[in-house]
Structure 1
Amino acid sequence: MKTDGRSAVPSANTGSRSVQLCSGVVAGIGAIVLLGWIWDFLLLASGYSDYIPMAPNTAVIFVVLGITLYVIIRWSANRILRCFAKVTTVFVVLLCSLIFIQYVTDSDLGIDQLFFVTTKTLGKIPVGLMSPITAACFILSGLSLMLALSFPENGRYAKSIASSLATIVIFVGSIVILGYLYRTPLLYGGTIIPMALTTAVAFVFLGTGLIFTIGQEYWPQCLVTGLSTRARLMRAFLPVTVVIVIIMGWIYTVIVLQSKSNPALLSALLAILFMVVIGFIVSHTASIIGNAIDLAETKRNLAEIQLRKLSQAVEQSQSMVLITDAAGNIEYTNPKFTQLTGYTLEETIGQNPRILKSGETSPEEYKQLWDTITSGREWRGEFHNRKKNGELYWEYASISPVRNSDGVITNFLAVKEDITERKNFEAQLMRLADRDPLTNLLNRRRFQEELNSSLAQARRHDTSGALLFLDLDNFKDINDTLGHQAGDEILTHLADILKKRLRESDIIARLGGDEFAILLSHIDASHAQSVAEQIIDSVYSHVMIVHEQPTRVTVSIGIALFPFHGNTSETLLKCADLAMYRAKKEGRNRACVYTHGQKTKIETLLNWEKNIREALYLNRFVLHLQPIADMRENCIVGYEALLRMIGENNELIHPAAFLDVAERSDLINDIDRWVVRRAIRIITEICKSDKNLYIGANLSGKAFDDPELISIINQELAATAINPVNLVLEITESAVITDIIEAQHFITTLKAMGCRFALDDFGTGFSSLNYLKHLPVDYLKIDGSFIRNLPNDSADQHLVRAIVEVARGLNKQTIAEFVECEEAVRLLLEYGVDYAQGYHIGRPRAMSEI
């Protein structure tokens, strides 16, 4: 293990071993003394023939305290043994207190004759009696041990007192030893019963063991342990000082005695005083010097650590770090700077950071930056810089001034982040937000912004322009015959033709599906008509190669002029849309200009849009429920939720009156979302009545393109905790065939959530059985046109039989719509139809009537 050259702090194991050693010595001294008394060999009790021996009572207590110390440190977690130690300590304190009282009151309680009875004397001093000094030291030792045992974890003040008491015991023992060493009886008892030399030695070890037991964080152990400079100086000088002083005093005493003088007491006192003074000086000096050195060393170490951490952080930082002098010349760049820009530290030293400039940052911006940082403020901003190899990159920089102690700017610190990926991603998001991903033309949202801007400029400058609404002819048939991939290729080709044919100032957009819009500024009606006809000719004359097959397409164009036909984007789009539909009715592959004769229709459409928006906002839509019956069980299994709008006079308006407008104005997604939310709430209410019925919710063909609908359904299902099986989503066959790929994804995703699907109006969409095979729907709803006249039309009967057979073969169930008579029920049962709905089963009713 590596060390830093310091003395190690006594570990817990070292303290434990020290206590065990001291307790062993104490108990050993006591045991040896007892053997001396038993064998009547008092030299073992005194250590020297001229010295008074340790009393038997004293020896017994030393054995007891030595064993107690050992037990405490060896089995500290044992509560029974700790309790034993406390009882033993209390006994020692009480016993020694009684002995001490004997001396104070000049009485004899017979305590000294508990273990041994002797009449021996040494000179005039009786042998075998415990000295009052010994009794006092035992009391102090016992109190110290009691405090340590009573507050094992907390009680800092109690432990400090306990440590101080143990120190007094060591001090008294040391004084007695000096008395014997200097042959000065006054120091170990004088005319009263003195403390034995062996007793003094035992007290020194006992006190030391107590101090180690109490802990190294308490005085005086903390003075000589630890890593501090003070502790190191104390460990180095204090023992030397004590030994030198004792030797000097002993030598002086011997010399004086040999000269037949008797200043022994004076010598001893001088030696003690000298030891105390020198010890104090050493301790105080060590404290002052040590604290000063510790503080300086700590500050230096902290500074070194901080500097090292800072250096490592800068060197290993994933941000570019650049430091310049006050003039802006580079003094330092970190490895990340080199990694990104290609410039090494050697190449940048002394250079100006403008070696990175790409020319895309103006001089004014550089001046504003310089003025900011030289005024003492931080500057933050973005740079489009150039690497050493010429490659452009984006960076975000934070540049701050660095001041010296006088407040003068000496350096500038720049921390930079490479934000190239973020900027590219933002640019891509902007493109996605503004562009159609297939054709890279503007999308509907961005086109409306451009149209609004152009209309504002036209009003301001009194100029005119035209809006062309373009739609591919028979595009559905192209998708059905050649596939969606071919349809996408045709749309891409058409976008390319429009780009080449029109001016750069003209604005082109794909509004959705096969619908395009063109904004022509500064143009009149005749020129707009001419441009539209040129587009029609260019498209018709261009033979597109799709799947290695030559394909020719045509377009129909509607033209609306501004400001003549309207001055808002909404009105102009409606006008151009109506004009385009007129072009299709007149034979397609042509252009028509909007006429004021269509104004009434425009107003009607706008009025319906307003009504739909109000109905959504004011919650004026409702769902009426028509029951669906199990043909075999003759019971209701669910309801189809039929949408109704509440009119201004509280009349119910059927969806046929407003759904076409909703689909053409993009309000249909809002209606779909409302229907789904309300249907799920109805299922929740039905579940409260302990009924297990499903609700069929009708969705439009635009539902597949709604990016939020799936998420809304998932959230509503989670919020209500209904069984998803009870939500049956109905979609028309024609809507599925129009966009089979999106339909498959939509159905598969919601089926994974547990929802079920019904294919509505089955049999009317010129369905392909191949498509049906890959659609994971649960029900085929036989269109009412086959059911309404079923009892009287054999053709309808054959068709219904065929549909049922197809459904069975594909493992799907059938639901017959428009069941209005008992004979139709009988025939449907005969053909094997699973479920039925219609006026004969039950009319649509409000939820409150169910």
Structure 2
Amino acid sequence: MGRMPGNRRERLIAMAQELNAGDGGDRLYRALVETSTDLISFIHPDGRIGYVNGACRQVLGYEPEEIWGRHFSEFVSPGELPGLDIEFERVKGGEPRFRRPVTAVRKDGSEVKLMFNASPLPRREDGETIGVVVIATDISDLVAAQESLREAEVRYRTLVEQIPAVSYIADPGAEGKWRYVSPQLEQMLGFSQDEWISDPTLWARRIHPEDRDRVLEEEQRDAVQGVPLASEYRMITKDGRVVWVRDEGVLLAEAGEAPHYQGMLTNVTERKTHESQLQFLADHDPLTGLFNRRRFTDELELEIKLMRRDGHPSALLMLDVDGLKRVNDTRGHQAGDALVRQTAELLRERLRETDSLGRLGGDEFAVILRGSRVNEAAAVAQDLLERFRGREQVLPGKAVRPTISIGLTSLRRNFTGPEEALGAADRALYEAKRTGGDRAAMYSRRLPPRTEDRTSWAEQIRSALEQDRVVLYRQPIVELATQRVDRYEVLLRLRTPAGDVVPPDAFLPAAERFDLIQQLDRRTAAEAIQRIAASASGPEPMSLAVNVAAKTIDDERYLEGVAQALSETGADPGSLIFEASEQVAVADLNRARRFAESVHELGCGFSLDNFGSGFGSFFYLKHLPVDHLKIDGDLIGGLAATPVDREIVASIVGVAKSMRRQTAGERVNDGRTLDLLAELGVDHAQGFHLGTPTPIE
């Protein structure tokens, strides 16, 4: 590109100096522009640079006077010019703005990654575009970090998951020529290199029909814009199987040749499967595979809306297993879990595919009977009662014949939402249990209000909060390398007016249901911070880990209160760790990530509890800024007897170490398990073998 005539260049430089001049109210504006670390420039319609601020010294290595009057293309990597020219013409022609990454060339010949934000500048008098204003931000560090992450992900997929990758060189388009494809193609899709290269249409034809139009449109758009290709889609193999691939490519335009992609096809079928399993885990109860309370509530809310719109009848059943607490107390939680699973299976057998079945928690189930009038729902309830009466359920060591109680209600237009509908069915269920159990009751406004069980627990929780009868216990978490207590987990208890201590299993379900868990978590965090501050001057400063529920993570006041308490007490934030269960994190990854980031801003730590209980644990771990992984107790409990559990724990430890995360094993109840944790490289351990929960003095 030739240089412009001297007199024209001098005029443009004079114009630039005039733009840079001025007085009065313009001084503050000029100061803001000149002190900005972003490169700010004005480009004339012919592409010549009319003004650039002083940031060009740091960003490009030029003095402003060296840039004025030159064409912007002189400072852009040649490979990006086709797409950038198109964008410039569009903005110059009136489009409001464009934003895209650009590789710029510095004075010393090196390249720098910039993010261009360009907007047209209209003339005040007639609105005609007189040029384009560009604000360019140096994103080199961000691009380098993203590239490092991408490379790490590729290494992880190759080394750990052993996912095959196919390198290729191909022309754009559905019938673009494939110049080269690596031999891994045959392992991925079943086609030889010769078969693939000899038929340019084969790629487009093997894309899944549901994805084909989208993929071809994405490729065409990216080719026009000159941006890298990054797409995920399904392909059909030679033998008819479906695989997911990630297609990443860069469009290159070498001198004298047509543009072509150099890229890689990676098999991401396993990751896609993990994502599907992750969504299943977020929506389903892990013990029974039924909808969990959150997902069931969403289904119920949707059904109420549809019922209001269409007027079709629907009904809601709430079921309770009679005597489950007695089974847990006399035969252990393993027998209780078996009873819950068999109950879920029996319900599945009886209900229709169009019905929605969920486990709300503990021994409680709920069913949406779509399209059923109340008399039809009553018939279903009666049939369920008879099926349970006539079927023995085999538990470890003994067969039992449990019964159920059922509350039912029709879904009414005047229900304000799912919680009111569940409340109505719950009152009917309470009536069925109050009158002896093993029966069904129908909701009526004349039913007595529920005054026992969870409602009673709600009142007891409120009373305990008001009367300072919320008691904090602690259980040590021991560092295995030193055998010293590293920190304590804070465990919640209630003290009754008579002085008895109530375990969390008895009242936490009610706290969750009646939105009291947030108050309990706030109280726990505030007291934990006070204990940390008080211990700081003593011989053994304490570090404490407090649990947070899903509703607490959504509570903006929670971390505000934590920040205030840390400030008022002077407690070391590094001695406070927030612990959320894997299920809570999986239910909403974005929410959990925001919470963890806010925790880190306070200087505190974040731990993921029950890690390894879900299908997609490894997949979503990289999306959460976690400091500690507390490995699920079921895996720890099986270490001594189950080789598979040992392999899973070893894998968790390996991934955690590669990501510089600390690990802890919970429910360590014997010396053999403790020894195995040390052999596997777990950092910390917690359990009755190391210390029972005791009140925090």
State TM-score, norm by structure 1. 0.39
The structure whose residues are more often strand, as a share, is 2
The structure whose residues are more often helix, as a share, is 1
Higher gyration radius (CA): 1
Give the number of the structure with larger relative contact order, counting CA–CA contacts within 8 Å between residues 6 or more apart: 2
